[in-house]
Amino acid sequence: MLNGFEPQKSQMVKTYAETGAILKSMGLTDEAIEYALKACTSSDNNSARYGLNATEGRLLSMIGDGIYQSSEEAAAVLSVSARTVERAIRSLREKGLIEREGSNKSGKWRITDDKMSG
């Protein structure tokens, strides 16, 4: 949950402006909002190439773009639960696609395959 908001699949948002306003009210960074709006219309090549589900592919893109800050923020951007993000992170780690750099508190995830980043 982020700032008292738990995204629900049943919520329908009609415009980018409305989506941006909702994400802003949740306290997301401008970079995360921009990513979320871009992700609404773009497809991800990583999913097919590495056999990932949609959440894993979009999360991998967030990590590669340097947008991933926390499982709560990623959950809000991806419209899934924080637990789903945590499962996707574990799966990406087990597949050898990401690794943790630094501590749990101040570190970050990074992509292990240079061809996938950026």
Residue with tokens 């097919």: 48
CA dihedral sign of residues 50, 102, 105, 35: negative
pTM of the predicted model, to two decimals? Answer: 0.62
The architecture (CATH level 2) of 16-111 comes to Orthogonal Bundle (1.10)
What tokens does 26 get? 């949740």
Phi and psi of 112, rounded to 5°? -85, -20
97 touches 60 (CB < 8 A): yes
pLDDT tens for the chain, residues 1 to 118: 454 555 544 444 456 667 778 778 888 888 877 777 776 545 455 666 678 888 898 898 888 888 888 888 888 888 899 999 999 999 999 999 999 998 888 889 999 875 454 4
In the chain, where the domains are located: 16-111
User: Considering Cα of 76, then 85, then 44, then 31, what sign does the dihedral take?
Assistant: positive
